[in-house]
Chain A
Amino acid sequence: MIPVLFDYVRPGSVDEAIGVLVEHGDEAKLLAGGHSLLPLMKLRLATPSVLVDIGRLSELSYVRDMGDHVAIGALTRHHDVHNDAVAVRDAPLLATVAGRIGDPQVRHRGTIGGSLAHADPASDLPGAVLALGGTLVARGPSGEREIPASEFFAGFLETVLAPDEVLVEIRVPKATGGHSYQKFVRRSQDWAIVGVAAARVNGHVGVSLVNVAATPVRAGAVEEALAGGAPASEAAELAADGLDPSGDNNATPEFRRHLARVLTKRALVEAGF
């Protein structure tokens, strides 16, 4: 499968990339590791006329200890998030989740920013960043803005990023307790049929669900029950409240609701909540 013809540009800086985006609007797409975009282009489900390759902008590849939070450059690869000492120590949920994405080859190419900006509801990192109450930093022609993860995902493969904005950094509060990611798959490299991320952040337990809606979602009822002192097994029973997941080859809606409850319980138990 071969993508349709496109123009290829390789800007030398983020600002140069923004300039290209301003010029071409939504005809242009950013290319980072390419492991979400290139498969869609090969299927011709995505047909950008200009591909803006920011994959070599090493200025956006880092994991930094910022005191109360961890800052991760958008072009940091899954392999590097998984193995980085600061991420493992202070953002262990992200390090764990990054190591569960796809397979080693995918993790050698895919980036955290690419995964978040692509916003596939079945992908792992968006759910983790949501559970942690992270913040996303976008840079556009008029400067930078901070977007809470809870406001970032707008729909299936949609975010609130403007066509001329580049996601440059992901910030998550330092973990202060246990964490867990439960990913139900039939083959280890597959997308989650359902996934559940849980972590204690600032004394509060965040729980999010992957692949049960058009975006990753917080399990609000579970979080409230835990905050009210309910035991994990009781709180987990609320994981499917308000969910209306779709069915597909892998799972019926009923099975997804069942998985949401079971995996939430496993996540809460593994995290020690």
Chain B
Amino acid sequence: MKVTVEVNGDTYERDVEARTLLVFFLRSLGLTGTNVGCDTTSCGACTVLLDGESVKSCTVLAVQADGRSITTIEGLSDGEELHPMQRAFREHHGLQCGYCTPGMVMAAVSLVTENPDLDEHQVREGLEGNLCRCTGYHNIVAAVLDAARSSREGAW
């Protein structure tokens, strides 16, 4: 069936099988920054924003995104200018192998957008849906706290 989805500000019209998962739809557009990890709604590697809120795109059908707006990791930066969350992940070395990173960043953007006034415990709880198998959580949490601070200071 035909779907029209806005992805990172561009409108895509595609004919898809109703069973097509959103993550595979996005990757078929060449947007392969969104990774498939566990494929069971657990790891969060496939996290994207649906109308601004984090969702696991392995558990959303492309037809459920019909007429709606998606942001993937490719849509965060403003040209060469990294999003403050991306910048914070780089500055704090909030990644090791990098596989969880796109989903981790998107989940963190949603978390801080909902509540920029976060303490460390709230960041750790707020990222409960994203697993880093390198166990590199320490620097990820530091990055999100730093980005939240920059959001409170109006840098976003």
Q: Are A8 and B18 in contact, CB atoms less than 8 angstroms apart? A: yes
Mask, A94-114, CB within 8 Å of B = 1, is: 000000001111101100000
Q: Known interface pairs A34-B59, A39-B59, A189-B128. Does A5 touch B19 (Cβ–Cβ under 8 Å)? A: yes
Q: Majority SS of interface residues in chain B?
A: mixed
Task: Find out whether the CB atom of B17 lies under 8 angstroms from the CB atom of A5.
Answer: yes
How many A-B contacts at CB < 8 Å in the complex? Answer: 78
In the complex, A31 Cα to B60 Cα: how many Å?
11
- What is the bound-complex CA distance between A3 and B20, given in angstroms? 8
Is the interface on chain B under 10, 10 to 19, 20 to 34, or 35 or more residues? 20 to 34
Which of chain B's residues have a CB closer than 8 A to the CB of A53? 63-64
Q: How many residues of A are counted as interface, with CB atoms below 8 angstroms from the partner's CB atoms?
A: 30
**Most chain B Cβ neighbours within 10 Å, of A6, A31, A55, A103:** A103
Contact of A108 among B19, B42, B55 (CB under 8 A): B55
Task: Say yes or no for A7: interface residue by CB 8 A criterion.
Answer: yes
Residue B21, interface by CB 8 Å: yes
In the bound complex, what is the Cα–Cα distance between A55 and B41 (angstroms)? 18
10 tightest Cβ-Cβ pairs between the two chains A and B: A103-B129, A8-B18, A188-B128, A3-B19, A108-B53, A103-B128, A105-B129, A105-B56, A105-B54, A189-B128
- Would you mind naming 28 contact pairs between A and B with Cβ atoms under 8 Å apart? A2-B21, A7-B18, A8-B1, A8-B18, A8-B61, A34-B59, A34-B61, A35-B41, A38-B61, A39-B40, A42-B39, A42-B40, A53-B63, A79-B53, A102-B41, A102-B129, A104-B110, A104-B126, A104-B128, A104-B129, A105-B44, A105-B47, A105-B54, A105-B55, A108-B54, A108-B55, A189-B42, A189-B128
